[in-house]
Amino acid sequence: MDGKHVITIEGIGSAKNPHPAQERIAAMHGSQCGFCTPGIVMSLYTLLRNNPTPTDAAIESAFDGNLCRCTGYRPILEAARTFAVDTSSDSKHSTTPVDATADSGSACSGTCTASEAASCQRHVKESNGCAHSDADDSGSKSAGGSGCASASVDIEDCCRGVIPPNPAASRLYPMYKFKPLDPASEIQFPSELVDYAIRRHAAADSGDVSSMVFSGARCKAFYVPKTLDELLRIKSEHPDCKLVAGNTEIGIETKFKHMDYAHQAYVGDLDELKAVTTGEDGIRVGANLSLAQLMRVLEQQMSSQPAERTRSFSAMMANLHYFAGHQIRNVATIAGNVATASPISDLNPVLVAARAVATVASSAGGQRDIAMTEFFTGYRKTAMKPDEVLVSFFLPYNQPGEFVLAFKQARRKDDDIAIVNAGLRVNIDLDTHAVKDALFAFGGMAAMTVVARKTSAAAVGITWGDRSSLDSLLDTLGSELQLAFSTPGGMPDYRMALASSFVFKLWCQVSQALALDTVEAQTYAPQTRDIERGVSSAVQGVEQQVYNNEVRKVVGQGVPHLSALKQVTGEAVYTDDIPRFPNELYAGLVLSSKAHAKILSIDASAALAVPGVAGFFSHKDDVPGDNKWGIFHDEELYAKDEVITTGQLIGVVVADDQATAQRAARLVKVEYEVLPHILTIEDAIKQESFFPPTRRLERGDINAGFAASKRIYSGETHIGGQEHFYLETHATIAVPKREDDEMEIFASTQNPTETQHVVSGMLGVPSSRIVCRVKRLGGGFGGKESRSVSVTAAAALPAHKLQRPVRIMLDRDEDMITTGARHPFYAKWQVGVDDEGRIQAADLQIYSNGGCTFDLSVAVLERAMSHSDVCYFIPNMRVRGRVCRTNLPSNTAFRGFGGPQGQFIGESIIEHIADQLQLPAEVIRERNMYKPGQFTHFNQELTDWHVPLMWQQLKESSEFAARRAAVDAFNAANQYRKRGLAMIPTKFGISFTAQHLNQAGALVHIYTDGSVLLTHGGTEMGQGLHTKMSQIAAETLDIPLEKVYISETSTNTVANTSPTAASASSDLNGYAVVDACTQLADRLRPFRESGGGPDGKSPRTFNEAVKAAYFARVNLSANGFYKTPDIGFDWESQTGLLFFYFTQGVAVSEVEVDVLTGDHIIRRSDILMDVGRSLNQAVDIGQIEGAFAQGVGWCTLEELLHFPSTGQLFTRGPGAYKIPGFRDIPQDFRVSLLDGVQYPHLKTVMSSKGIGEPPLFLGASVLFALRDAVKAARKDNGETQVLVMHSPATAEKIRVLCADGIAKKAAAAAKPKDGEAAWAVQF
């Protein structure tokens, strides 16, 4: 940090005085759980510091290194776009729909730019058109109108930051005037550091400078050389010295691979390694330029040189654009990327293909050049000598006829490592089109960047454009770059197909550049370019506020999350933000490395010898109470005699700090006797490894139904798991109180009561001695409903034993290997239909992978079974379910809780029927859709049933028919690009299926100053629960929202709470809040109605009434309680009410697929949700968008991989496990709430509906749209059998399922040999 000035989130603003970037993200609902928000704010701040007037495209690119699991990204982008200028001039797609044919007329037109429209919220629409325009009912601009609300207000006020008081918009965005962005008022670089830099450079020029040297426990010497000569001397003395610049590689090695380097040298400030010079034949760039600096150099060259001379630079830019994210590119260097010799480096193949030359230097040998074609010698090995340093790279200009292209395919477009990448160069005689030279370099196809030398040689002499030569070239490549079925990294057929597809793309695009008269040049070339996603646009449609002449003052308004300003300014306190307690220790976990084994011995002596270690704790003689927990009391807190999964807690080392505790924990030696393990559902079925009971739902006569069916089909459906990936990992602080065995627990948990009970049981003390407190969670999604308990136990036991506070926050890899995931599912099914596709009978056998313990798996299975009908009436239906017992970490609750899996099975059956009958899938859906008053297969009547109405409304508003025709026309005209369109419904039952959990409590205090302290049983994890409860309290008490405050959730204020889960927390806690506040309102009513004013007969203000009540000795505290009426289902008799009501929705999604890579974009998604009478429409829309994005991830990106031999999780961090990023959401994202209907049967708080989980399944509309696109590709390739597409539909699966000649050859080459196992197994 020498000479650096660091600006943090806290430095740019505060909740009382936020920076404009902070203010706008908070006000426009861009922060939910808030844990990711500081990083997002700082990305926007960095962009604005470098460019105060960014374009829309620049804004979207600025977030390529950020992730959010809650929001669905749309509100963040809209908030950021209020800073954009001239958006329409540079973006392919700003506020208009994807296609002119897809324009439903809901987007505004007028004088405002796109960013200004985002600012004035013209994109918030009511059912009759734009909220802020003079649009008519069709959405078209009326005669003489501007189409913008600014027509009636000061244009500066609207378009530069005021959200105007339109009735519809105000429900999403309160009246707010934004601060202007003033670059002149920003924090300036300190003058003293400027002076310091001047002095340092002067000293370096005079030679009067010496290295700084630091030392530490893990590093003997950390050097900061000031000159290249000094660096070379250090490397001469210590050839093993690790060079550090951006810390992007060594940080991972030391943190996660636990590698230690005795000698390190920081080279980031050596100007000699950053020089750039231009010559006649090319440019020389300093090896220590950051990748961002290299991009700027290349851009300058491309703008100043003829395009034909800089084709290599253009290729480099193509891959660098998707190299990690902005944060990494700003610090990672060329040298670091090259020297680490990663086999999947995005830069190295292009350097090799471009004929780049590396210059290295040492004290002993001076400088020498190494051609990049000879630089890489093996896995993570190079031709450099140990004492050499990379100094520079020579990048030659291209010659006439020389073409260079770069390609990359990853799981996710932005910020992801490559699966396969390539740098491909050909030099062609422009007269004869004969290839004079060629070099094809690939990453991801070997243990290092590899040159396909045989293929490169075979290309020389061929005539470019001759199709037979292309076929021969692809055959040579296929035989040269073969991967075994068991190859490390997996996906052998996909990787081989990608390599060939890249060469095919090269062929087509170079053919076009040569203006050849071939189909590849004239037709295929445009189709082989990367799919370019345009700038995002969005529409939010809100319901009307007035029902039956009732107007609500606070409830229903789009109040921003009440903690939003604290979250955007870094002031929000999460568990690990709590300051250290005196005498505090940190816990390091000792986890099982075996999937199934006996524990023979545990030796902690080496760990206990580490300075700073205070103790080691395990089951042996350390657990004073009960070592088991769980619904079925089957799970050990500390493994005793046997481990039954990897990542199982064996013991805990506590030490003075995190680094010491984790290092000591790794020194604990555990000896095992390995036992056979089971990982997959298929293996569990073979070995009959199940948890009891067997569940069954049945109605009608299944045999008679099949007998009456005209056609009977059968099939199988596989559904992968999903990691929660909450941004805040599990965290706990256990604080013993030193008397009566009391303990205070601060935890990131959705279930404080369960935490309290398990800890009290483990310690053998009454629950009344344990208090669990929860301020907020940085995301939960079900992953902190039960699995947080074991993390708390790891801290509570040593805290109790040592009577010292103990803290723990899991690293991401620890969290992922210990806490379980969404359940993988497998179903075998048979369905009978009539000739019109109406289902007569369905028989489903459903299996879930429960992992190693019961946890919540039976309840998850039950919900999957109850949702397998989706929205379709099946008169004769049988569903049987089993939970498989395997040796995976115990799978657990995840947003949707089995419902999405059950619905996916049902929709897969619908798709199969449609394909067999050669009918559109939406026709089959319509013919089988429930009608109002019909009963489900678990005998529940469908009341307030709006799915058929919503289906028709969305079908019209999304212009489904026109877009279907447009998609079909596009597919007919394109062989290597395909589009798909799908429409699906959802119904999601709201209630805990365990009857006793359907209860809640609340405690409300009114203080004499008129302020209100509200406590309820739910936890805030970003879903806006505290905000909604505060609105309910304010509405019920008839006071301003500002008077209500929620501090935390704690077990000593509201006891015996249910977990915050099942999308029922607003229903349950909301009614409890109403109960408590109604009591108080009734007590205060006599004091509010009179006693005020000079005559004492006027109404009192609330504050006056409170004081009067206090002096009258009225109790100003109230305890509220609620239990859901009528609920309760018996699985044996299949009687009773399983769900209190259903939240319903419909979605349409359109995608575009690159057939040659499997890459895709979501062109547009339309969602219509029935949320009843929304408690907060902005929060509900945010939940819909966030759930949808999470559903998209579940269905398309997120893939859990385990090593079959050990059971270890491979995808244990963000490097290998990918959640959706900013540019993975729909390019055109339209979300509306159902309006204009009545709810005669809905008995919820203020007629609202739970919304957290129901929209998630609608993300599957993307998968079914992808399936539609792949079907079109398969049709072109002569594949006629019904397509089976399991979830997730990753790029790998999409590419392979397209089944073209390249894919088929790759699949044939990658077939397993006898006994050959896959490198990893998907779950």
Residue 639: CA count within 13 A, CB half-sphere: 31
Rg for the chain, CA atoms, rounded: 32
330 and 68 Cβ atoms separated by less than 8 Å: no
SS3 label, residue 144:
coil
Task: Give just the sign of the alpha carbon dihedral 250, 255, 261, 262.
Answer: positive
Please, where are the H alpha helices in 853-959?
A: 857-866, 899-917, 921-928, 947-957
Answer for the pair 421, 498: CB distance below 8 angstroms, yes or no.
Answer: no
| Identity of residue 843 | D
- What are the distances in angstroms from CA 1064 to CA 209, 467, 474, 512, 1238? 66, 62, 57, 58, 21
Closest CA to 32 of 81, 77, 78, 73: 73
Instruction: Note whether 230 and 273 are within 8 A (CB).
Output: no
Q: List strand residue ranges (DSSP E) for 1155-1220, in order.
A: 1160-1170, 1201-1202
Half-sphere CA count of 615, side-chain side, radius 13 A: 15
CB 36 within 8 A of CB 67: yes
Letter string b/e over residues 1062-1100, b meaning 16 or more CB atoms within 10 A of that residue's CB: bbbbbbbbbbbbbbbbebbbebbeebbeebbeeeeeeeb
Distance CA 743, CA 741 (A): 6
Based on the number of CB atoms within 10 Å of its own CB, is 582 exposed (0-12), middle (13-18) or buried (19 or more)? exposed
**What is the rounded CA–CA span in Å between residue 1078 and residue 969?**
60
Encoded amino acid at 977, one letter: R
Q: Which residue has the tokens 């730019």?
A: 113
Cα angle: 550, vertex 553, 554; to 5 degrees: 125
Which residue, 279, 274, 334, is CA-closest to 305? 279
Distance between CA atoms of residues 1072 and 480, nearest Å: 69
Within 8 A by CB and 6+ apart from 582, the residues are 805
CA atoms within 13 A on the CB side of 536: 28
Whether the CB-CB separation of 529 and 535 falls below 8 Å is answered with no
Residue 330, token pair as written in the block? 């700003």
**Count of CA atoms in the C-beta half-sphere (13 A) of 352:** 30
CA atoms within 13 A on the CB side of 197: 13
CA distances (Å), origin 78, targets 117, 121, 514, 561: 10, 9, 42, 16
How far is the C-alpha of 161 from the C-alpha of 82, rounded, in Å? 7
Active site residue 186: no
User: Following CA atoms 339, 341, 347, 353 in sequence, which dihedral angle do they give, to the nearest 10 degrees?
Assistant: 110
Q: If you search the block for the tokens 């929709």, which residue do you land on?
A: 907
1288: preceding bond cis by omega (within 30 degrees): yes
Calculate the dihedral angle through the C-alpha atoms of 631, 636, 638, 641, rounding to the nearest 10 degrees. 180
State the catalytic residue, choosing from 1253, 1279, 1292, 1316.
1253
884 beta partners: 690, 849
Please give the positions annotated as active site.
1253
